[in-house]
Amino acid sequence: MYRSFSPLVNFWRPMCTIDTSQWFRWFHSNKIPLVLQQDSLLPTHLLNPAPSGRYATIQCRLSASHLYNFLKLWASFSLLENHSYIRFLPSAEAPRYFCVVRVAHLLPCVVLHVGHIEGTPHSLQSATVTFINTALKELTFTPSERPLGTVGRKRPSLAVRAKPSVTVLDKQLQRVMIRLVLIHDTVRLVLIMIRLVLIHDMVRLVLIMIRLVLIHDMVSMIHDMVSIDHDTVSIDS
């Protein structure tokens, strides 16, 4: 059984293993950056730890399941589930061209790498990328539903407004993430500097208070010594 499918497996296996940075040798590559919608509202302790010291987690299972389900239905076949998808492009003759979609994700951020085999007409490439962009923007889900493919007790139906499953970005996601990291590091540096300034001010205040206490004690001691000397002089006289 395996021998009969070995030519097919050997032909399509490189589509899952070739690094997307090397696609330019065989494919016309496009990137579709997007952000998955979280399952629920953002938690209060997102960037700062909770009183217990733990950070809150963000889950995007609903939007991810809708994304993978769309790719599965759109593709001619799934090369590797939740990873690589193949679609044969329509043509007047037998299928001559195909495209591969590779999913690269660092949740909740996702990048769809769309590669068209060399020789594919530009009109087919543009039509494919435009269709994927339009279809992604139309994906919606309701927070009360379960992820696709899961089994469980049905939840009561509530009048919940549907949310877009993904947000398609116009700019490259890598640049946005780098900028976000830089902003986050800058904010952390500013907070550390503010804390250091506050600690420095508190130390200065404590030192001033200690000096005032010492001065007060010295003045009290001098006053007592003067009083004692004055009493001694009075007795002698």
> Which token pair is 159?
């009048």
Residue with more model confidence, 123 or 198: 123
Cα–Cα distance measured from residue 187 to residue 15, given in angstroms and rounded to the nearest whole number: 41
> What angle do the packed helices 61-74 and 122-138 form, to 10 degrees?
140
Rounded to the nearest 5°, which phi and psi values hold at 35? -125, 130
Residue with more model confidence, 162 or 85: 85
Stated as kind and residue range, the H or E segment containing 205 is helix 173-236
pLDDT at 181 over 60: no
The label of the residue with tokens 């591969």 reads 100
Which tens digit of pLDDT belongs to each residue from 60-76?
A: 888 899 999 999 999 99
pTM of the predicted model as reported, rounded to 2 decimal places? 0.65
Which tens digit of pLDDT belongs to each residue from 12-65?
A: 888 888 888 888 888 999 999 898 888 887 777 677 777 777 777 788 888 899
| Helix (H) and strand (E) counts in the chain | 5, 8
Under 8 Å between Cβ of 148 and 70? no
Between 36-45, 93-102, 186-195, the lowest mean confidence (pLDDT) is in 186-195
Cα–Cα distance measured from residue 28 to residue 221, given in angstroms and rounded to the nearest whole number: 89
Q: Is 30 left (phi over 0), alpha (psi -120 to 50) or beta?
A: beta
